[in-house]
Amino acid sequence: MNTGMFRALLVLAMAFLFVGAILQVSWPEATTMDNTTNEDVGNALFGESDASGYGLVMLFIGLLLLVALLGGVFLAKEEKE
Amino acid sequence: MIPIEYWLIFSSLLLAIGIYGVMTRRNAIVVLMSIEIMLNAANINLVAFSSYYSSLHPDLGTDATGQAFALFSIAIAAAEVAVGLAILLSVYRRYQTIDVDKINILRW
């Protein structure tokens, strides 16, 4: 058996294990339809009252994206010989 | 409402596809794409469980924390892709290849 086939079988076995484990659990049946709106997501992100959301985390993620952008530009820059 | 099992099976299959891509492919861009597929599997789990929780407890109101965390995860994935592609570009300039078997020396 070649390595590729072995890996494929391994991943297939893992997928079957996941599916089996999920189907083993008796999940309580949800009767009502969830109606999450954009407003709910906004409230979860920034909070309805003072400092109850993730506004500061959003700020840090924005900073992280800026640093990633600058790092990407720095790494992709043409080298001068 | 779509049962939670369907979403979980979908996300675990996505995870398996991503793991298979990481394990078998040699092209570094495809490996990066497979990692993104795995991240998306995690995002689907976050949103599915958040929605399921809200459906199970309608008296508590809608809780969109899972969706918010999925947004964070997408932002982190974007940063990861930006740095990953820049590293790949740099590696390609150096070695003229992005085959992960051939770029196993972690020095310039």
Tens digit of pLDDT for each residue in B66-103?
899 999 999 999 999 998 999 899 889 888 888 888 88
Say whether pTM exceeds 0.90. no
The partner residue sitting opposite A30, judged by closest CB among B56, B62, B80, is: B56
Element (H, E) at A59: helix A55-76
Whether B72 has its CB under 8 Å from any CB of chain A: the answer is yes
Q: What is residue B63's predicted lDDT score, i.e. its pLDDT?
A: 81
Q: How many CB atoms lie within 10 A of CB B90?
A: 16
Q: What is the pLDDT of residue A19?
A: 93
At residue B108, the pLDDT reads 52
Residue pair B45/B74 in contact by the 8 Å Cβ criterion: no
Task: Say if CB B76 and CB A50 are below 8 A apart.
Answer: no
Domain ranges of chain B: 4-95
| SS3 call for B99 | strand
Q: 3-state DSSP helix/strand/coil percent for chain A, to nearest 5?
A: 65, 0, 35
What was the ipTM of the complex prediction? 0.77
Beta strands in B25-86 (DSSP E): none
pLDDT band at B41 (very low <50, low <70, confident <90, very high): very high
Which pLDDT score, from 0 to 100, does residue B13 have?
95
Q: Express as a percent the part of chain B with pLDDT over 70.
A: 97
Interface membership of A46 toward B (CB under 8 Å): no
Fill in the amino acid letter for A25: V
CB contact set of A13 (below 8 Å; sequence gap of 6+) = none
Q: What CATH number belongs to B4-95?
A: 1.10.287.3510
Q: Hey, of A14, A63, A75, A79, which one would you mutate to test binding to chain B, going by the most B CBs within 10 A of its CB?
A: A75
Mean pLDDT across chain B: 89
- The whole-number pLDDT of residue A66 equals 93
